[in-house]
Amino acid sequence: MNRAERLARRAELEHAIEQQRIDLLVAAHRWRTAEQTLDQSWQLLSRFKTPLLVAGGLLAYRGLRHPGGTARLARRLTTGALFAKKARDLLR
């Protein structure tokens, strides 16, 4: 391999490395934008962790004391959530 071939090969390799760096930067940006909503949701849950734990404890206590009422409440919550989702889809 003469000097000109080595220089050409080196230029090709440097170009390939530069392209890999650009691809890595683009992938990192996409990753950050994709995880941003998940991080915001997690922080929202972390902010309300104590009230959610208290509410969950109260619901568990109520469920142990009155199992039929808990099943009825679960059905109503599920129906309400499905209704809200359908309404939101219709409004879009």
What is the greatest pairwise CA distance in the chain?
87
pLDDT digits (tens, 9 = 90+) for 21-65: 999 999 999 999 989 988 888 898 889 999 989 998 988 888 888
pLDDT of 69: 81
Most confidently modeled of 12-26, 53-67, 78-92? 12-26
Within 8 A by CB and 6+ apart from 63, the residues are 70
Please tell me the pTM assigned to this model.
0.46
How buried is residue 47: exposed, middle or buried, by Cβ count under 10 Å (0-12/13-18/19+)? exposed
Alpha carbon distance, N-terminus to C-terminus of the chain = 65
pLDDT bin (cut points 50, 70, 90) of residue 87 is very high
| Element (DSSP H or E) covering residue 68 | helix 67-91
